[in-house]
Every structure is written in structure tokens, then in C-alpha cells.
Amino acid sequence: MAKKRTKSKSKKTTTTAKRKLSFKPSKQNKIIFGSLLIVLSIALFFSFMSFYFTWQEDQSMLSQFADRNVEASNLLNKFGANVSHFFMYRGFGLASFVFPFLLAITGLYLFLGLDGKRLIYKWIWGLVGVIWGSIALGFFAADYPLLGGLIGYEMNDFLQDYTGKIGVFLILIFVLMVILVRLFNFTPEGFANFFKRQKQKIKSDFKEEPTVHTKDTPIEDEEDGLILTTEDTAPEKVDTYTHKKDIPPLDEAGLDVNIPEDEESDIALKVEETPVEEEETDAKAAKLVEDFGEFDPKLELGNYKFPTLDLLEAHGASGGITINQEELEENKNRIVSTLKNYKIGIAQIKATIGPTVTLYEIVPEAGIRISKIKNLEDDIALSLAALGIRIIAPIPGKGTVGIEVPNKNATIVSMRSVIASNKFQKAEMELPIAFGKTISNETFVVDLAKMPHLLMAGATGQGKSVGLNAVITSLLYKKHPAEVKFIFVDPKKVELTLYNKIERHFLAKLPDSDEAIITDNTKVINTLNSLCIEMDNRYELLKTAMVRNIKEYNVKFKARKLNPNEGHKFLPYIVLVIDEFADLIMTAGKEVETPIARLAQLARAIGIHLIIATQRPSVNVITGIIKANFPARIAFRVTSKIDSRTILDAQGADQLIGRGDMLYTQGNDVTRLQCAFVDTPEVAKITDYIGSQRAYPEAHLLPEYVGEESGTSLDNDIEDRDAMFREAAEVIVTAQQGSASLIQRKLKLGYNRAGRIIDQLEAAGIVGPFEGSKARQVLVPDMYALDQLLENEAK
Ligand SMILES: Nc1ncnc2c1ncn2[C@@H]1O[C@H](COP(=O)(O)OP(=O)(O)OP(=O)(O)O)[C@@H](O)[C@H]1O
């Protein structure tokens, strides 16, 4: 605690230090400084005004500023007389009036807290105007030095020495043009138009009667812009008034050139406002974070303890791989002699020992065909008297030929060893999965979020279920219950039942289902469709948050930049695990294939990931559309080359040795791995450990999905109405807006159910028929009328 306090203290001091260092004035200081400038500008204005009448009288007292007995005639006394003398007489003459103007604007900007970027331009143009004005006045009114000031006079003198009177005149004209063009967007056409309009205006002023009548139509046209004038003072009876009120619109309509200017300045204002708003929301979020800290999704289960390593067994592999030198030598000799028999010379041979297989890398002598070695696969297997030999010719990116030979005594790769590995512990991945070990005995960790879906296949008894458990265990060891939710589909009813214990921590289910683990194939369809709704909802949230994926969304949500009152919430990853996918396809077919394909295609960005396992990797189970969306695939041992091709698009899975020996591909490369072994008692221990801790009140609820077969009939049968019918009717009537999404939001219902209720409301005559993108018309004006209608119906 003490540590924490000192930490937060030091944090505070550093932030205050930062505040002191940054020279950004606070809002209060801005208001004070702004008021000071405004007052100063008023004082200057009156001093300058009064200076023109009193300067002669005050001249004698200028040097006696400190003497309290001496008084000046200037409105602001000695201060006014001195400052005006400085600016008007010694400075820029009449042009000095620009200074109080600039000060007043600056003061206003500060006072109102406006963005000061445009202010710089005002100052630059103001100063240009001052200099131009004082020179021009000095030029045209050389006899009255007070008009141009000393600077105006001297600069004129200076310029005339070099360019003569005409030169100065031309310079003045040129600078005036620059000012007009840059500052007032002056164009010759605009100038000509202006004169034309003036002419028209004068003409129309002379034709009083007809203009009154022709004006009637323009008023309608311009109603939008002139609501106030027409509403407040539109006494149609008195023509003279109408006419008077007509003049301003005529002016505006006449000055076409000015209208775009106004629009432009409007646009400029908008551009300025947006960053201010964003800054404001950012500042709000920063303030919230400062006050309450970042949003912590884990807070609700703040005391949750991650499963410990000792829940896992070492499976006798704590000593690592034991190298049997004799076996190595023997295998090497057999490989070399077999190849020699076929006249294949070897330049070099190297062995890499893995947990289940050893990879012999061969560099053949020059001129040997690779395909020749590849064809000898069976002969080498025969001579080594071993199953599961796989030849990789050539090893991609290495320029060697690999021969994988199973070890006589395979080492079990325990889940404990991979979980404990540095690679897994330090993995900075969203959903890290430790599959097992590679052939070079390295722990193999991949990110499920990047896969983004996984297809697992293999003949029965080859390690699929263990593989699934390894995936789930990896996530349980790395993720808090707030961060990931599982949906299990287990038609065999035995493989995943153990995870029932962590239902209220890690599982997600449909609102009306009793069991979180789905064993009934008909329910899978509802769950998949519900997931599709969840996917659509999440995309909607991402869209409103203006982010591209769940990671960015959650970061933004944690930084409190998204308002929970607008439906934003922390989004956990959802991992859907389907065991025995073939069984599902056989019973439900297209009905599950469509939502699965949809999810597989679209769900990657919003954190829904699918893991599908199947025993039967035939093409009618792993269809093209599914395969296309599952780039990450795992093959355990299969019985035929065809099955291997179906899963991996390559052979090799038929030559695996089983017991967790697997091939993994995520695109092109195929990696041979030994799957980590996690036994059922270990899984039981982990789920017990998690299950015994405090949990959420219930499993994570998915959006409700009402199957189509539940009917969307339009008949007005009161008994068949939805339980929420009355509530929905009240919501609709109160809001006077007939939309399904309103019901969805207010009553927290799924889309389909809300749609069904809307149909029933239509049948009951409460809302009108469907009108495309518009909300339906509400036919009942208020709650009283609704009560009456429903009562009459009941009778
Ligand atoms: N990674 C592994 N390391 C060591 N042995 C393993 C491994 N994976 C599986 N085995 C052995 O293989 C047996 C069968 O594995 P598993 O139950 O995972 O097969 P399966 O493919 O799920 O079979 P089914 O499809 O019939 O459910 C296990 O009981 C275990 O003895």
C-alpha cells in the first residue's frame, strides 16, 4: 500500500511538474487576460479619439508624467495623452485605431476560449493594414502629419527619395490590391456584379407596387433562411411592411458573391469546431481516466487467480529428451546405405532430435535428382523398419532433403512444459496457444486471433481431443474470464463436459438454454445464428466507435472514450469449439454450413474465432467454402493420402505416427509438431480450480435468436402473442416511432423477436405497414388509446 501511495504521489508531482512546464494558460487565466485586453482596447480607443481634440493642450505635460499636480485634458488623463502621443503622433497616426481593434479581438478570443490559430492571421493583416494606412495617409495628407503619424511621414519620405511620388503611389495601389484580394477575396467579376446589383436595387426601389406582388414567391423560397422575419412580422395585410421586410432578402439574394463567402466562412468554422469537439471528448476521457483510472474489465472478478502450474503433470518428461547415440548412428548408417544402393551419394548429413521424431537433413551430392529421393520413401521406411517416415524434399528455404524418422522411445511433451516455457509465458499475443513442440524441440506458440479460425482433423484415437484440450488449456492459463468466452459444441457428450464447471467464468450460452455445453445438434443452429447476430452487433459497435477491430475497440473502451450509455461495452473474445463437426454436418447440413461460413468469413475482426474438429475429413464435411476460410489447419494421423490432401492440400498426414504427432499449416508451410499432452484428470483439476473461485452470476449471454420456424405470421391471435407484446406496444406508443430496433434496444430483445413483435403490433393495428427504410407509422396516439384498444380486444 505504502508503495502504491508513494507511487501515486510521485505520479501527481510529475503531472503537476508537467503542468507547470507546459505554458498553456488555464481557462480562468484566459478569461482574466481576455478581459484585461478588452478593457485596454476600450481605453486605447477613447484615448485615441480624445487625442485628436486635446493633443495640442496636452503637449506641454507629456514630459511631466510623474507630477501628480499636472493634469491632462485627454479622457484618460496622462495615461491617455502619453499612449496616444506614442501611437498616434510618434507612430502610425489614424491607422493606430487598428491596435485597439486587434486587442479587442484577441481579448474576445481568449475570453470565449476560441481556437487562436486564426488570430495570428488577423494580427499579420492588421499590422500590414496599419503600415499601409499610415503610409497612405502620410502620402495623401502630407500637410497633416497627425493623420499619418511620424512613421507614416518618415516612411513616405524614405520611399519618395528612392521611387518618387509616382512610385510610392503605385506601391500603395499594389499593396491595396494584395490586401483586397487576399483578405476580401476580391475578384473583378465580383466587383462588376456588385455594381450590377446596386443598379437593380435602385431600379426596384423606384417600382414600388409591382415588387410587392413579385416578392410573394421569393419569400416562400427563402423561408428557410428567414423563419424569424416571416413568423415574427409577416402581417400579410399591410403591404408596406411586407415590402420593408422584403428589402433585406432582396439584398441577400442580389449579392450572390457574398453568399458563397458566407458559406465558406461557415465551412471554415466547422473545420475548426471538429477538432475542438474531439479534443473535448478526449479531454473528457482523459479526465475520467485521471479520476477513476482506466476501465478494468477484470475488476468484477478482481480476485480471480489464474490456474497454477502444479495442476499439470510432468508426464515423466521433466528430464527433457534423452538422446540415444546408438539409435542415431544406426539410423544414419541405414539411410546412407539405402541411398547408396540406389546410387545416391550424400555430401553431408545432420540430425535434429525432436520429442517423437528425429529429422535427418541430407545434402545430396551434386547432380542428384530430388524426385529420386522422394520416390524412395517406402524403401527407406523398409530398410529402417520404421513406420511414419516422412520425406521432405526439399525442406523449404534450406536447400536440404529432410527425412523424419520416429524415435524408438518417444518423449511425451507435457502441457506443463509448454505452459512453463518462456515463449508461452512471454507471448504478447491476443489468444496465445501452445500446441506443443517442433521437431527441433522448440515450444510452438501461435495466436488464435491471427489464424483466425482452426480446423482440426484426424482419425479416431490419434490425439484430436487431447489437441482440443491443449488449445483450451492454453487459453485458460493466459486469459482472465472477462477476456475470453467459450462456446462448446460436443455431440459426443463426453469430451468437453468437464468444462461445465467453469460455465459462469468462461462459457457463453443462449439466454433460454439450461446447459452451456451444447450437445443437441438442433440447438447448435440457434447458437450459430445467435453468434451471427452478435457479430453484426459487434460490427455496429465498431462502426460507431470508428475502429477497425476488437483490439482497437477495447483499447478505446478501456481509455473511457466510448460511452457505455450508448451501448458500448468491453467485448470479450468468443471462441466457438465444435467437436465432431462431421456429425453436425450430417444431421444439420446446410443449416449449419451457412452461418459457419458467414462467421468464418467475417468474424475475424470482431473477436469471434472458430475451432472445428472432425474425425472424417471427407470433402462433403470439409467443403470448399469452409476450407477457404480456415487457413490454419491441423492434421493428426489419417488413414489415407486423400484425407491428408483434404485437410492440408498436401500428403504427409497419413505417414504420421499418431499419439499427438501432427502437421500444422497456416498457408503454405507445413510444420510437424508433437502435440502437448494434457490428460483428462489434469483438465478436471484446472476446471475445479477455476470453478471453485467466485464467478459471474451467470454464463455470458449471447443475443437471443428465435428460429424462423417459430413463425412470423401476421394473424391477430391474442394468445399467440409474445410475452413482451404489451411492453413493446407501450414503448412504441410512448415514443411514437414504430421501429423494431427501438423495441430491441429498450427491451433488450434479439432482432428476430423484435421483428416478430412488430408484425404482431401491425396485426393489432397499433403500427402501420412496413415502409421501407422509414419507421412504421404509429396508429395509436397515446397510452389511453392503447389501453382502450387492448381492452376492447380482450372483450
Ligand atoms: N500429445 C499426445 N502425447 C501422447 N499421447 C497422446 C497424445 N495425444 C493423444 N495421445 C494418446 O492417444 C490417445 C487418444 O487420444 P484422443 O482421445 O485425443 O484421440 P481422439 O482423436 O480424440 O479420438 P476420438 O476421435 O475417438 O475421440 C490418448 O488417450 C493418449 O493416450
Domain of 598: which CATH number?
Answer: 3.40.50.300
Of 256, 291, 314, the residue that ends a domain is 256
Indicate the annotated binding residues for ATP. Answer: 458-465
CB contact at 8 A, 531 and 524: no
| One-letter amino acid for residue 27 of the chain | K
Are 409 and 324 in contact by the 8 Å Cβ rule? The answer is yes
Ligand 1: residue whose CA is nearest its atom 16: 463
Measured distance CA(367)–CA(767) in Å, rounded: 83
| Residues 86 and 170 placed together within one structural domain of the fold | yes
pLDDT for 253: 36
Distance 699 CA to ligand 1 centre (A): 29
230 exposure class (CB count in 10 Å sphere: 0-12, 13-18, 19+): middle
pLDDT at 386 over 90: no
> How far is the centre of ligand 1, averaged over its atoms, from the C-alpha of 541 (Å)?
41
Q: Are residues 119 and 198 in the same domain?
A: no
Based on the fold, state whether residues 397 and 426 are members of the same structural domain.
Answer: no
Domain edge (last residue) among 406, 430, 463: 406
Does residue 14 belong to any structural domain of this protein? no
Is 245 touching ligand 1 by the criterion CB < 6 Å? Answer: no
Any ligand 1 atom below 6 A from CB of 660: yes
Same-domain status, 508 and 647:
yes
Measured in angstroms, how far is the CA atom of residue 460 from the centroid of ligand 1? 8
pTM: 0.57
Q: From atom 2 of ligand 1, which residue's Cα is the shortest distance away?
A: 660
In a domain, 525, yes or no: yes
pLDDT band at 322 (very low <50, low <70, confident <90, very high): low
Does residue 485's CB lie within 6 angstroms of at least one atom of ligand 1? Answer: no
- Burial label for 512, CB within 10 Å (0-12, 13-18, 19+), is exposed
Which residue segment(s) compose the domain that 665 sits in?
415-693
| Per-residue model confidence (pLDDT) at position 446 | 93
> Would the CB of 315 count as within 6 Å of ligand 1?
no
What is the whole-number distance in angstroms between the Cα of residue 375 and the centre of ligand 1?
31
Last residue of a domain, one of 660, 693, 726: 693
Using 50, 70 and 90 to split pLDDT, how confident is the model at 477? very high
Q: Indicate whether 349 pLDDT > 50.
A: yes
CATH number at residue 377: 3.30.980.40
Q: Is the pLDDT of residue 261 over 80?
A: no
Ligand 1 atom index nearest CA of 462: 21
Best mutation site among 356, 409, 465 for ligand 1 pocket (most ligand atoms within 8 Å of CB): 465
Residue 402 domain-assigned (yes or no): yes
For residue 91, count other CB atoms closer than 10 A to its CB.
19
Distance from C-alpha of 226 to C-alpha of 545, rounded to nearest angstrom? 37
What pLDDT band is residue 8 in, cutting at 50, 70 and 90?
very low
Same domain, 509 and 637: yes
User: 545 with 680, same domain?
Assistant: yes
Distance CA 473, CA 486 (A): 12
**Which parts of 60-144 fold into alpha helices (H)?**
77-84, 98-112, 117-140
**What total of structural domains would you count in the chain?**
5
Using the predicted structure, report yes or no on whether residue 199 has a pLDDT greater than 80.
no
Residue 296 lies inside a defined structural domain of this protein:
no
Residue 355 in domain: yes
Indicate if 341 and 481 belong to the same structural domain.
no
In this structure, are 395 and 375 located in the same domain? yes
pLDDT for 12-27, tens place per residue? Answer: 444 444 444 445 677 7
User: What's the gap in Å between 661 CA and the centre of ligand 1?
Assistant: 10
316 within a domain of the structure (yes/no)? no
- On whether both 530 and 620 belong to a single domain, the answer is yes
Range with the lowest mean pLDDT among 19-33, 124-138, 148-162? Answer: 19-33
Higher per-residue pLDDT: 6 or 743: 743
How far is residue 255's CA from residue 226's CA, in Å, rounded to a whole number?
A: 16
- For the residues 690-702, what does the mean pLDDT come to? 90
Ligand 1 atom with minimal separation from the 661 CA:
1
Q: Say whether both 594 and 477 belong to one domain.
A: yes
Given a cut of 50, is residue 270 above it in pLDDT?
no
Q: How far apart are the first and last CA of the chain?
A: 69
pLDDT confidence bin for 716, thresholds 50/70/90: low
Arithmetic mean of pLDDT, 575-599: 85
Q: Are residues 91 and 236 in the same domain?
A: no
Same domain, 178 and 199: no
Task: Answer whether 732's CB lies under 8 Å from 767's CB.
Answer: yes
- Ligand 1 pocket test: which of 438, 462, 674 has the largest number of ligand atoms within 8 Å of its C-beta? 462
User: Which of ligand 1's atoms lies nearest the C-alpha of 470?
Assistant: 1
Whether pLDDT at 232 is above 70: no
Query: Could you tell me the CATH number of the domain that includes residue 764?
Result: 1.10.10.10
C-beta of 356 in contact with ligand 1 (< 6 A)? no
Judged against a pLDDT cut of 90, whether residue 447 lies above it is answered with yes
Q: Residues within the annotated binding site?
A: 458-465
For ligand 1, atom 5, which residue shows the shortest CA distance?
659
Please give the average per-residue pLDDT across 732-749, as a whole number.
Answer: 84
At 401, which helix (H) or strand (E)? Answer: strand 401-406
Q: Is residue 290 part of a domain?
A: no
Report residue 719's pLDDT band, with 50, 70 and 90 as the boundaries.
Answer: confident
Angle between helix 98-112 and 117-140 (nearest 10): 170
Please determine, for residue 428, whether its predicted confidence score (pLDDT) is greater than 80. yes
Whether ligand 1 lies within 6 angstroms of the CB of 685 is answered as no
pLDDT at 113 over 80: no
Q: What is the pLDDT of residue 201?
A: 65
Q: Find the 462 Cα to ligand 1 centroid distance in Å.
A: 5
Q: What is the 3-state secondary structure (H, E, C) of 261-273?
A: HHHHHHHHHHHHH
Interval between CA 383 and ligand 1 midpoint (Å): 29
Average pLDDT, the chain: 78
Mean pLDDT of 480-495: 89
The pLDDT score that the predictor gives to residue 674 is 92
User: Are 510 and 523 in contact, with CB atoms under 8 Å apart?
Assistant: yes
Give the mean pLDDT of 640-669: 87
Nearest of 516, 478, 495, 505 to residue 684 by alpha carbon: 495
The answer to whether residue 337 is domain-embedded is yes
**DSSP per position, 462-494:** SSHHHHHHHHHHHHHHH--TTTEEEEEE-TTSS
